[in-house]
Amino acid sequence: MRADLTVPVRTLGWAAGLAVLSGGAYWALLGWDTQRDLDPATGSITGPWSAWQVLGLAAVVGGLAFAAGRARRAWLATFVIPAAVTASFIVSASQDPDGDGLWPIGAALVALGTVAGVVLVSFVTQALSRLR
């Protein structure tokens, strides 16, 4: 008897696609920008990211979560997307020579925020797609 490997192979394909696309989106939108800006009037340092970069990443991650929910792979998205985005953040932030050493706190916040967003979008989409 031959086992049907279609389901595991498709799941692996989805996992790889979600990981590559979400991790790639991080590097394309946030990973390259390490420039902090100093306001000469106040002396405060801002950055390195602009609002459009963070919103762009949120849009890509939301789109991936939506697609995974429509494909009824919300659980997969809940683990893969936050892991890829958080791992990308960790690599980027831990290598920052101007960093203050607080990247583990940032990584925890990135993980929590990404999980919350992906769970909301993917599971709502999955539930709505089942109603059809």
pLDDT of residue 2: 56
**Of residues 9, 27, 132, 122, the one with CA closest to residue 76:** 122
pLDDT of residue 34: 78
What is the block-wise mean pLDDT of the chain (132 residues), using blocks of 10 residues? 70 96 97 82 83 96 98 97 98 85 94 98 95 76
pLDDT of residue 13: 95
pLDDT of residue 22: 98
**Of residues 74, 87, 71, 72, the one with CA closest to residue 117:** 74
Rounded to 5 degrees, φ, ψ at 66 are -65, -50
pLDDT of residue 3: 60
**Vertex 106 angle, CA 100 and 112, to 5°:** 170
**Of residues 115, 120, 86, the one with CA closest to residue 103:** 86
